[in-house]
Amino acid sequence: MPQNTIRLIANHAYRGKLAVAATIMILLRIWFVLLLPLPTLADTANPDTTPTVAQIHVNQNVAVTGDVIFTGLYDIPYATLPALTADQAFIIRLLDTDGVTELGSVVPYPYSGFKNGYNEGAFSFYFPAGNAIQWGTDYTIQIAENPAQFAVPETWNTSIKTSDYTTLTVHADNSADLASQVYSLGTVLQADYNQTLFDTSGNGQTLTETGEAYFRGAIIGLQNMAPVLFVIQASNTDTSSTVWTTAAFDNYMARFNDTWVGDAMSATGDQFGMSGNMAMGLFVIAPFCLFFLIFSGMKFRTTDPGLVASSVVLEMGAVMGWVPAALFATIFQFMGIYIAYLFFFSRG
């Protein structure tokens, strides 16, 4: 058989295999498209019962003058949680009085410890200064299903009452009021989810590590608006210079002026050619100090305890006005020098 004929037959066979392979690929593609069910986003089940919003509260001037924050508790009930987290499936909106115009929107915070944002959770709408919020207006809070996740998305509305707005106007008062609102919301949540969200500290009720992790996500900027809820707080350092005066000491020295005590002090001082204040310091304060020094030396074989007790007596005498400012300052300077000696030069 001629060589060209063999090549022609081989080319036809190769092209036939390519055609068969292409046909198979097209048929498989059609089978996948037409016969296999494609996944859809709109397959999330509706909540078990009607979602609700409760404990709505509105504060103003919490971070800066003129700002507004709406806070509350939502409930999107599910016994069996959807595969999607709540922030993918639901939207919480603040609507104007017409019930249509959206003033703001947030999504539930999908904290894993709180069932990925389902069931009960906290929410907030924050509006900075210069906003168009009309104080005391009956706005609407709407829980809406995300149209991308539900075949027929539903909505549920809750009206804001005038009584939900605080009557407070001062920043510090609103900050404290917001902290109380967060504590109220957290008390409900920690009972529902068996979590410890608050701890008692020197500042009162402060957020635990879990509480911080949740509320920082649910209420953005909370630490700036209600710092009392946090153990570690940021504050501005006062770098202004202080002008020191003797005004307080002068008031102490004049404490008994125009009283019978002051007259008696002056009469005693006149007998010894000194002021009444100096006389009381000499006849009352000095003996007490000497007593503590002598007693300390005899009892403890050292005057250190006596010096500590004498410093307290001197302070009391200064407040009574019986130790002149210059003498008081001089004595305490010597005490400071003695302490430095004990720390740096004493070998005992």
* Of the listed ranges 6-10, 96-100, 134-138, 262-266, the one predicted with least confidence: 6-10
Check residue 342 and give its pLDDT. Answer: 80
Check residue 307 and give its pLDDT. Answer: 84
User: Per-residue confidence at 100, pLDDT binned at 50, 70, 90?
Assistant: very high
Check residue 20 and give its pLDDT. Answer: 52
pLDDT over threshold 60, residue 47: yes
For the chain, what is the mean pLDDT? 86
Check residue 150 and give its pLDDT. Answer: 93
Check residue 6 and give its pLDDT. Answer: 46
Q: Other C-beta atoms within 10 Å of 127: how many?
A: 17
User: Per-residue confidence at 304, pLDDT binned at 50, 70, 90?
Assistant: confident
Q: pLDDT tens digits, residue range 204-213?
A: 789 999 999 9
User: Per-residue confidence at 109, pLDDT binned at 50, 70, 90?
Assistant: very high
Transcribe 61-102 into DSSP letters. SSSSTT-EEEEEEEEE--SS--SS-HHHHEEEEEE-TTSSSE
Check residue 19 and give its pLDDT. Answer: 54
pLDDT over threshold 90, residue 135: yes
Give percent of the chain with pLDDT exceeding 70: 86
Instruction: Give first-to-last CA distance, the chain, whole Å.
Output: 122
Of residues 9 and 91, more confidence is placed in: 91
Q: Which among 97, 175, 182 is positioned nearest to 140, based on CA atoms?
A: 97
Q: Which among 289, 287, 266 is positioned nearest to 278, based on CA atoms?
A: 266
User: Per-residue confidence at 23, pLDDT binned at 50, 70, 90?
Assistant: low
Check residue 128 and give its pLDDT. Answer: 96
| Structure tokens, 259 | 């009283």
User: Per-residue confidence at 112, pLDDT binned at 50, 70, 90?
Assistant: confident
Q: pLDDT tens digits, residue range 113-131?
A: 899 999 999 999 999 999 9
Burial of 111: CB neighbours in 10 Å, binned 0-12, 13-18, 19+: buried
pLDDT over threshold 70, residue 236: no
- What are the structural domain ranges in the chain? 1-38, 52-229, 247-344
304-320 and 286-300 helices cross at what angle (nearest 10)?
A: 170
CA atoms within 13 A on the CB side of 305: 11
User: Per-residue confidence at 22, pLDDT binned at 50, 70, 90?
Assistant: low
pLDDT over threshold 60, residue 36: no
Q: pLDDT tens digits, residue range 220-231?
A: 999 999 999 998
Check residue 5 and give its pLDDT. Answer: 47
pLDDT over threshold 60, residue 39: no
Widest CA span in the chain: 153
Check residue 234 and give its pLDDT. Answer: 63
Q: Is 205 helix (H, G, I), strand (E, B) or coil?
A: strand
List of residues 6+ apart from 332 with CB closer than 8 A: 311, 314
| Fold entry, domain 52-229 | Immunoglobulin-like (2.60.40)
Residue 259: left if φ>0, alpha if ψ -120 to 50, beta else—which one? beta
Answer whether 55's CB lies under 8 Å from 182's CB: no
